[in-house]
Amino acid sequence: SAEPGRPYRVVLLGASGVGKTAFASIFAGAADSMDSDDCELYEVTEKEIEVDGEPASITLIDTWDSEQYMQTGDAYLLLYSITDRASYLRASELRITLRRFRPAQNTPIILVGNKCDLVRRREVSVSEGRACAAVFDCKFIETSAAMQHNVWEAFHGIVRQLRLRRDSK
Ligand code: GDP
């Protein structure tokens, strides 16, 4: 559980190619550092952002060794690509795995349908995304990392949920 003074650990989860690195790059402030260095097991960026006029320290963890982070994250952005139905199914699996690792904890999770700029390649509808989030009891947002659309809203949303959880303790 996050206390003031300790950064929130926010973990990016999702199938390969859904845009985790793109999200991490936007968070880090490097809009175009999308060159793939696939040797890295994970990348960590620590940063203070302002949400609703209040600073929030975030450690963003971008990893494909996700199991390791199922237990240690404070919150999760669960990404899929709206152009890739398999990645949508993978997000459901990851949600189930998360629940197994984190039983009885209302860990903040946002289901993120990324690449919403690729309208003609859409394989997952908005309503399917919304329905999946409802089943899994998490928030939902569609984003485009390429257009920098809604990416910060996703980060801000996760901070708001973390604060709600903190304040309800
Ligand atoms: P990761 O494997 O989850 O880290 O995915 P990446 O961030 O490496 O993205 C995979 C590919 O999708 C890269 O070529 C990105 O440039 C591209 N990409 C990521 N987000 C978007 C998006 O919102 N729209 C479009 N059109 N391409 C994206």
Query: Tens-digit pLDDT profile for the chain (169 aa)?
Result: 445 568 999 999 999 999 999 999 999 985 444 444 444 545 788 999 999 999 999 999 987 666 777 888 999 999 999 999 999 999 999 999 988 887 767 899 999 999 999 999 999 999 999 999 999 989 999 999 999 999 999 999 999 999 998 888 7
Is 82 in a helix, a strand, or coil? coil
User: Is residue 22 in contact with ligand 1, taking CB distance under 6 Å?
Assistant: yes
109 with 136: CB under 8 angstroms? Answer: yes
**Taking the model in full, what pTM does it have?**
0.91
Query: Ligand 1 pocket check: which of 12, 16, 20, 34 to mutate, most ligand atoms within 8 Å of Cβ?
Result: 34
What was the ipTM of the complex prediction?
0.99
Strands 42-51 and 54-63: antiparallel
DSSP β-bridge partners for residue 144: 149
Nearest atom (ligand 1) to Cα of 36: 8
Which DSSP state fits 124? S
